[in-house]
Structure 1
Amino acid sequence: MRPALRRRLLLAAQSDALADFDGETWSTRCLHCRSALQLQANGEPLGTTTLEHVVPQAWFGKRAAASLTAQVGEDADDPRNLALACARCNHGKGKGHDARGPGDARAHEVVAALLATRLSRWRRPSALPAR
């Protein structure tokens, strides 16, 4: 796995208020279905853990997504836009809502709800010990 992806996975865990770290493993819940997820201290995902861009990367720069992207900044890899999700949920969102684009009312609604959940689970990653 690429080091950049491991760093983003760790950032998602470190900035998730539901995530616990026992010195070896991060444990949290899927942003979508709340199933248990784990990530090693080095950022290597365990089981079905994947990186979720809550507002899809392809939506950045699109006028229809401006209200969503404004909440997470100019960069799709902003920690507020990164979350951990199980592979089933993440891939399902990618094939459905993400693919329909921000102009689709239902897709916009789903992403807005997920972003609200992510932001409610937000904590500053700098408040945690460096790993």
Structure 2
Amino acid sequence: MRVVLRRRLLQAVRTDALARLDDGVWRTRCLHCRRALALSEDGAAIGSASLEHVVPSAWFGRRAAAALTARVGEDADDPRNLALACMRCNHGKGASHDARGPGDARAHEVVASLLDARLARWRDDDAPC
């Protein structure tokens, strides 16, 4: 697994208020369906855990997504925009809502709701786990 991906997975889990480190394994829930997910302490995904860009990377720089992207600092890889999702949910979102783009009202609504959920689960990276 690439070092950059591991680093981003760790950023997502360390800033997730639901995540707990237990015996060298990070445990949390999918942002979408709340399925149990796990990462090793060094950031390797275990099972179906995957990195979710809540606001799709392709939406950055698009006028229709400006209000959403501003909430995460205008950078697709900002930790506020990174979350853990199960592969099924992550790939499903990518094939449907992400692909329709920010101009699609339903896609915009789904992404805004997921971003609200991510920000509600926000924890400072240096807070106790």
TM-score, normalised with respect to structure 2: 0.97
> In the alignment, does 2:111 pair up with 1:98?
no
2:38 aligned partner = 38
2:54 aligned partner = 54
Structure 2 counterpart SS, 1:103 = coil
Counterparts of 1:1-131 in structure 2, within 5 Å, are: 1-128=1-128
How many Å apart are 1:22 and its aligned residue? 1.4
Deviation readout 1:73-109 (Å, 9 max, x if unpaired): 0210000000000000000000000000000000000
How many Å apart are 1:126 and its aligned residue? 2.6
> Using the alignment, how far apart are the partners of 2:93 and 2:13 within structure 1?
20
| Paired residues of 1:14 and 1:128 also in contact (CA < 8 A) | no
How many Å apart are 1:128 and its aligned residue? 4.6
> Using the alignment, how far apart are the partners of 1:88 and 1:35 within structure 2?
10
> Using the alignment, how far apart are the partners of 1:20 and 1:5 within structure 2?
20
Alignment coverage as a number of residue pairs: 129
Structure 1 counterpart SS, 2:51 = strand
**Runs ≥4 residues deviating over 4 A:** none
Structure 1 counterpart SS, 2:33 = coil
Structure 1: gaps spanning 5 or more residues: none
Structure 2 counterpart SS, 1:126 = coil
1:102 maps to a residue whose letter is P
1:71 maps to a residue whose letter is R
> Using the alignment, how far apart are the partners of 1:101 and 1:11 within structure 2?
26
2:32 maps to a residue whose letter is H
